[in-house]
Each structure stands twice: as C-alpha cells, then as structure tokens.
C-alpha cells in the first residue's frame, strides 16, 4: 500500500510541475524561468523526466531498497501517462 500511495504521489507532483499552472502560477513561473532550448527547460516539460527526480526523495523516504524503488516509482508515472494518452 505504501508503494501505491508513493507512486501516485510521484505522478501527481510530476503532473503539477510539467502540466499545471499551480497556485499563484508557481509551476508556470518555474517552467518560464528555464530556457526552452536547454536540457533543464526541455526536462521541465517532460513528465517522465521530472518523475525520475521527484521519485528519488520519495524512494529515500520510504526506505528499504531505494535503488529499486526509485525507478519503479517513476515507471508508474510513465504507465499512467501512456494510459492517459490512449484514452
């Protein structure tokens, strides 16, 4: 159950960073600060890229074998995103 909640948390945070405006347009501003032609700018628009970095602290917080949990949490975001685009 912990993994499922953590995976959904990674998805939600990644989605907010890449796709949403956020409260007081905070996410839009962060994306706007990064130059779109740089690797950071392109990375902030890619939910799969962002999910890798969002999953790291969550995997460390969960504990256990974080080295396996980290990519697994990110992979759930990829699966959800692919499922969304098929609908």
**pLDDT at residue 85 tops 90:** no
DSSP string, 28-64: HHHHHHS-TTSHHHHHTT-HHHHHHHHHHHHHHHH-S
**pLDDT at residue 12 tops 80:** yes
**pLDDT at residue 44 tops 90:** no
- Residue 45 near residue 17 (C-beta atoms within 8 A): no
Q: What is the largest CA-CA distance in the chain?
A: 39
Encode 58-82: b = buried (16+ Cβ within 10 Å), e = exposed.
bbeebeeebeebbeebbbbbbebbe
* Domain layout of the chain by residue ranges: 2-86
- The pTM assigned to this predicted structure is 0.86
């Amino acid at each position: 159950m912990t993994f499922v909640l953590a995976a959904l948390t990674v998805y939600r945070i990644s989605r907010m960073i890449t796709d949403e405006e956020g409260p007081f347009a905070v996410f839009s501003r962060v994306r706007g600060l990064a130059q779109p032609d740089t690797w950071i700018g392109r990375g902030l628009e890619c939910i799969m890229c962002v999910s890798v970095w969002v999953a790291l602290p969550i995997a460390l917080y969960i504990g256990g074998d974080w080295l396996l949990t980290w990519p697994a949490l990110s992979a759930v975001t990829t699966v959800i995103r692919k499922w969304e685009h098929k609908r």
